[in-house]
Structure 1
Amino acid sequence: MRRKALVAGVFVLAAGLVLWQKLPQLELGRYTSKPADWDKRREKVKEAFESSWDAYSKYAWGQDQFHPISKKGSQMSPDGLGWIIVDSLDTLMIMNLTDRLSTARKWVQRSLNYDQDQDVNTFETTIRMLGGLLSAHYLASQLPDVSSRRDYVYLSKAVDLADRLLGAYESDSGIPYASINLRTMKGIPSHTDGGSSSTAEAATLQMEMKYLANLTRNEIYWRKAEKVMKVLDDNGMEGGLLPIFVNAQTGRFTSREIRLGSRGDSYYEYLIKQYLQTSGQEPIYLEMWEQALAGIQKHLITTTQHSNLKFVAELPNGIGSPLSPKMDHLVCFLPGSIALGATGGLPEAKARKAPGWNAEKDQQMQLARELTKTCWGMYKVTETGLAPEIAWFNADNGALQSTPGNRPLPATRNSKALWEKDYIVKPLDAHNLQRPETVESLFMMWRITNDPIYREWGWEIFKAFEKYTVLNDGEGHASLNEVNSIPPPLRDNMESFWLAETLKYLYLLFSPNDFLPLTDVVFNTEAHIFPRIRQDKFQTGWERIPSRRN
């Protein structure tokens, strides 16, 4: 059901889009050089993965964390949780690194044990470990040369882990506790934030649990995760925008703060992805996505002062309060999700000819393009060409003091000099953790629009990673402490999502479009790959309160 708030004319983006496409500004990415050798570029990404993986294998094999500068690893529990190995399984498969995969598979079979007296974060363990195991199980049956008689181990370990995670859902409301003890299977409230769970973390467990239910025919996984959506939605928040903290016992929100960065981001991502995961057979999630997207457009999108770049602001005190001109890099998942929701994963040219295409979808694609450009700008304006963890923006006070509403937004001015005036990188926000969100959206936008600019931007980002994050001895990559210092100071850390997400999305960005097509698969928030499934085992078990549908 289309939301009434999604009316034509919310944004006047088309003029700016056309202008941008016509401007021959090489500095902002209008490339006119000879066609690139994308196979060669894809191999460069593969080589970066091999370098990172081999350094980890040499110095920290079986450890949950890798410190590439000091050449050592560390554990998150006494026996380890498989953090890096499990998170990387499907990347090994996609890149057809069969020897390394065989070693990793043997480790999972022989050494991975979740029967530990260890508290773990419910969300992170679900998206990385459960998601990684389920994705490996799926891809082992889909990709040539990566299957083995030991592949049963992926699903077996996934079931064992999921059964332990179920205890997190045993709150009075059904909202999962922030943490869970793997051995006792008892949920643990957050030690911070007044004991509340974060909205994103509570509502970013559904794809994993629903796919496992589909595989095992065990309905409990589906129902436990699904109930979270009803409890959150029953709060009846305006515009489909949810505060970032929720009490696990009462199911009521404990703050007014709204943002699409940390603590809020993947709630919105999983609305549209749940709908696509079950092949459009759960329209309730499409309705919630469209309502939330209308709310984002109405309440959060505004422009910078000098170049009129569109960005997603925050509402520290809820709807009706002034906006904060802050945008986490985490928010950069959004343009890819918008494009995915508008087209269903079809190429845009094909989607425009399909029944149901309308002015709202056209407007959504324009917004996706504009926000992708803003995310690219986070890289373009820094000295290293790598984005900070958080960007702040110069914006007119008038644009921040009231809800943007339906007022037309001016066309973007594509000048690097103006962009540099609009982005503010504060010292505490200037680190780069090798995050994937922008390259995720570049991948989605390339697959959907077929505009080569997104591949070129991805290549520029990859070259910056290669220039500034590779260690002097060539053994692996590290995070950065400061993106505006040359040379940038390195952090003695390599995030697992560098292997699981960032390099995976770059590899897929440079791969043929028929490899893992978006019409067949859905990526979880850790870039683990699940098939689109037919909802023939379990039906949606809840309905929205009638007033929420208006």
Structure 2
Amino acid sequence: MFSVRRFTVYLGLAACFLFFTLGYFRDGIVNTAKAKYPSQLSTVTQPSGQVPAPSASLKTSRFKWETVPIRFPVKDPTPLPTAPPLKLPQVQYHFPTETTEHEIKRKGRQAAVKQTFERCWKAYKQHAWGHDELGPLTGGVRDGFGGWGASLVDNLDNLWIMGMKAEFEDAVKAAVDVDLSTSTTETINVFETTIRHLGGFLAAYDMSGDQRLLEKAKEFGEMLIRAFDTPNHLPITRWKPQAALGGPQEADETVLVAEIGSLEMEFTRLAQVTGQAKWYDAVARIIRLFDAQQQRTHLPGMWPVVVNAKEADFTQDTFFTLSAMSDSLYEYFPKMHALLGGVDPIYKKLYDGSMATAIKYNLWRPMTPDNADILISGNVRATDQQLARLDPQGQHLVCFAGGMFALGGRLFDQPAHVEIGKKLTDGCIWTYKALPLGIMPEVFNMVPCESRLTCQWDESKWRGEVKDRNTDSNDIDHLITTHRLPKGFTQISDTRYILRPEAIESVFILYRITGEEYLQEAAWDMFTSIINATETHLANAALSDITFSREQLAQGNTGGTTQMDSMESFWMAETLKYFYLVFSEPDVISLDEWVFNTEAHPFKRKLPA
């Protein structure tokens, strides 16, 4: 996916932590997508990294990844579970018949979201058709995801959901013509390619039944499984296809845990719809390793951000988080339970163990001026449980955790987890409202309360933390003013908003689970705030700084525009999809029938007959 400069000289675990805390800046360009690691976006002006095919022209469709021999065949593949799916607890709230007034308001808001999507799709089609991303300010293109039409494939299911069937047919024709014998990037991010492309084709197939989409999903699967062709069958997560075709390969010593631990939904769904166990086998062995080592890490129950795939050792690092670089590892535990119909108890075991640890060490209540009863998920450095230290940091990306806890609480019949999910989601809603544009920043810090049960605002304590975290002045009032810190925030270390979906994702899931009306109102406030700040003459743009007020923006007192020429594929594929669905009828992509991958692609759940 990304044109990633591979870690040719790994700087060790401290370097990975440094990348994390700096918020992944690289040359001022947005370079994290959903998955949470440092990277560099490439453009189509870069030379194409062509993948040589044995005895076949690179420009011909005759090249097939399925013809590339496997050097390290699996002797005893893990079979796909065949037991009848269990009757799992109902996830969605039993919504009563809505009033006419509510229906009119809801449909009006849904239409507004669809109008935004249509506008962005039209701009993409006119200016960047077939490319990975549109530049929303210039109309230029970026091809940092292999040049395989990331925005095209990522939005196939959205076109179907929104009833844009003619546009869907046009997009399918273009998407199935993507040529995997060439790439605009030398290095392929296996995780990103899996969640966006493989996931995108599978979801669109699940919805439409179009066989062309399944065939293309299999083609991507055949390519991606070659990254697993190593002596221990663990994947090379930043993979060079040229090297794979040139000789034997082995997994890397330094791998981000989300990249190796978040492939199972897509590979499992591919196995389910094709009946071919090899896809399931590829990811099942990874999950067994997580299971075997869950209690052997420095923070038992959770796994560190950095793991060693070459040695199959997931225990050595000391940095633990639900946030960037780890997130979807944990997100997939309850979702895989649903996808498999509850027939494999391993996913409940992994969820129960990891969430018990996260609740104890990672979740914290921030001190706020209104004494809000909310939670945020932070980071922990731990050499052992007695020396676990919390960094009270919040991230927009970790807002997914509210939906994860709520979904896990329903699927595993743990009401306390639904309540935790509510407080985490409310924490993200609060943070949106606290900023002058009504938009949450990428990374920030606040003062953690000593107790989650009661917490009173202490102005002097807040001011003292502001001074401790910002050392460029001894004048606290000056620090608060120059860093534009709303009350409660001690530091905003990454002021961007890159059109992320995680907050609205949890609002949507929690609304479908609880039916609480305030969540639809919160969603509408978020949507209008985002559109007001990000809309361009073409589409919508990421923002470099959301700490300025509307008045400062209007007066030009920002040192230049805060809009950036970046609109990642997840803006339409995830953010707008979740906004659309939160205002849809509850039976549209019901959570009792579908389960979303981390790129918001819905897969059909296995249900009892």
Match of 2:340 among 253, 269, 278: 278
Instruction: Give the TM-score, by structure 1 length.
Output: 0.79
Q: For 1:506-525, list aligned pairs within 5 A.
A: 506-525=579-598
Distance 2:223 2:407 in 1: 33
- DSSP 3-state at the match of 1:327: strand
- DSSP 3-state at the match of 1:208: helix
Asked if structure 2 preserves the Cα contact closer than 8 Å seen for 1:258 and 1:314, the reply is yes
Asked if structure 1 preserves the Cα contact closer than 8 Å seen for 2:407 and 2:509, the reply is yes
Structure-2 change in CA distance of 1:51 and 1:365 (3 Å):
same
- DSSP 3-state at the match of 1:57: helix
2:69 corresponds to: none
Mapped pair 1:335 → 2:335: no
Q: For 1:245-264, list aligned pairs within 5 A.
A: 245-253=306-314, 254-264=316-326
Q: For 1:23-422, list aligned pairs within 5 A.
A: 35=102, 37-76=105-144, 80-109=147-176, 111-116=177-182, 118-141=186-209, 151-182=210-241, 185=244, 195-235=253-293, 236-237=296-297, 238-253=299-314, 254-306=316-368, 307=371, 309-318=374-383, 319=385, 320-344=387-411, 357=413, 361-395=414-448, 399=450, 409-411=452-454, 420-422=486-488
- DSSP 3-state at the match of 1:481: coil
Structure-2 change in CA distance of 1:412 and 1:469 (3 Å):
farther
Distance 1:334 1:43 in 2: 28
- DSSP 3-state at the match of 1:522: strand
Asked if structure 2 preserves the Cα contact closer than 8 Å seen for 1:108 and 1:153, the reply is no
Between stretches 111-120 and 249-258, larger displacement belongs to: 111-120
Read off the aligned partner of 1:116 and give its amino acid letter.
T
Deviation at 1:184, TM superposition (A): 5.9
Read off the aligned partner of 1:139 and give its amino acid letter.
M
Distance 1:240 1:173 in 2: 24
Deviation at 1:309, TM superposition (A): 3.5
Distance 1:88 1:380 in 2: 29
Asked if structure 1 preserves the Cα contact closer than 8 Å seen for 2:230 and 2:250, the reply is no
Deviation at 1:101, TM superposition (A): 1.4
Read off the aligned partner of 1:496 and give its amino acid letter.
S
Asked if structure 2 preserves the Cα contact closer than 8 Å seen for 1:335 and 1:367, the reply is yes
More RCO (CA 8 Å, sep 6+):
1
Deviation at 1:51, TM superposition (A): 0.9
Asked if structure 1 preserves the Cα contact closer than 8 Å seen for 2:406 and 2:419, the reply is no
Deviation at 1:413, TM superposition (A): 7.0
Asked if structure 2 preserves the Cα contact closer than 8 Å seen for 1:232 and 1:251, the reply is no
Distance 1:154 1:184 in 2: 28
1:9 corresponds to: none
Distance 1:175 1:535 in 2: 33
Deviation at 1:199, TM superposition (A): 0.8
Read off the aligned partner of 2:319 and give its amino acid letter.
E
Match of 1:496 among 545, 552, 569: 569
- Which blocks of at least 5 consecutive residues in structure 1 are unaligned? 1-33, 142-150, 345-355, 400-407, 537-550
Distance 1:42 1:411 in 2: 38
- 1:457-482 Cα deviation digits (max 9, x unpaired): 110010011101001x3x21110000
Deviation at 1:104, TM superposition (A): 0.8
2:40 corresponds to: none
Deviation at 1:76, TM superposition (A): 3.0
Between stretches 227-236 and 330-339, larger displacement belongs to: 227-236
Asked if structure 2 preserves the Cα contact closer than 8 Å seen for 1:315 and 1:323, the reply is yes
Between stretches 298-307 and 225-234, larger displacement belongs to: 298-307
Deviation at 1:425, TM superposition (A): 4.6
Deviation at 1:99, TM superposition (A): 2.2
Q: How many residues are paired up?
A: 461
- DSSP 3-state at the match of 2:526: helix
- DSSP 3-state at the match of 1:240: coil
Distance 1:228 1:185 in 2: 20
- DSSP 3-state at the match of 2:389: coil
Asked if structure 2 preserves the Cα contact closer than 8 Å seen for 1:127 and 1:208, the reply is yes
Deviation at 1:279, TM superposition (A): 1.0
Deviation at 1:535, TM superposition (A): 10
Deviation at 1:171, TM superposition (A): 3.4
Structure-2 change in CA distance of 1:172 and 1:234 (3 Å):
farther
Deviation at 1:182, TM superposition (A): 4.2
Deviation at 1:305, TM superposition (A): 3.1
Read off the aligned partner of 1:292 and give its amino acid letter.
S
Asked if structure 2 preserves the Cα contact closer than 8 Å seen for 1:204 and 1:267, the reply is yes
Q: CA RMSD in A?
A: 2.5
- DSSP 3-state at the match of 1:258: strand
- DSSP 3-state at the match of 2:567: coil
Distance 1:373 1:239 in 2: 28
1:462 corresponds to: 527
2:547 corresponds to: 484
Deviation at 1:181, TM superposition (A): 3.2
Match of 1:423 among 489, 493, 507: 489
Distance 2:528 2:433 in 1: 12
Deviation at 1:378, TM superposition (A): 2.0
Structure-2 change in CA distance of 1:321 and 1:343 (3 Å):
closer
Asked if structure 2 preserves the Cα contact closer than 8 Å seen for 1:304 and 1:393, the reply is yes
Deviation at 1:534, TM superposition (A): 5.8
Between stretches 122-131 and 47-56, larger displacement belongs to: 47-56
- Which blocks of at least 5 consecutive residues in structure 2 are unaligned? 1-100, 463-484, 554-560
Read off the aligned partner of 1:42 and give its amino acid letter.
Q
Asked if structure 2 preserves the Cα contact closer than 8 Å seen for 1:479 and 1:492, the reply is yes
Read off the aligned partner of 1:168 and give its amino acid letter.
A
Structure-2 change in CA distance of 1:503 and 1:189 (3 Å):
farther
- DSSP 3-state at the match of 1:421: coil
Asked if structure 2 preserves the Cα contact closer than 8 Å seen for 1:189 and 1:196, the reply is no
1:544 corresponds to: none
Give the share of equivalent positions with the same residue, in percent. Answer: 29
Of Structure 1 and Structure 2, the greater helix share is in 1
- 1:117-148 Cα deviation digits (max 9, x unpaired): 6421010000000000000110103xxxxxxx
Structure-2 change in CA distance of 1:170 and 1:285 (3 Å):
same
Asked if structure 1 preserves the Cα contact closer than 8 Å seen for 2:250 and 2:310, the reply is no
Distance 2:456 2:123 in 1: 44
Asked if structure 2 preserves the Cα contact closer than 8 Å seen for 1:189 and 1:197, the reply is no
Q: For 1:531-542, list aligned pairs within 5 A.
A: 531-533=604-606
Deviation at 1:81, TM superposition (A): 0.9
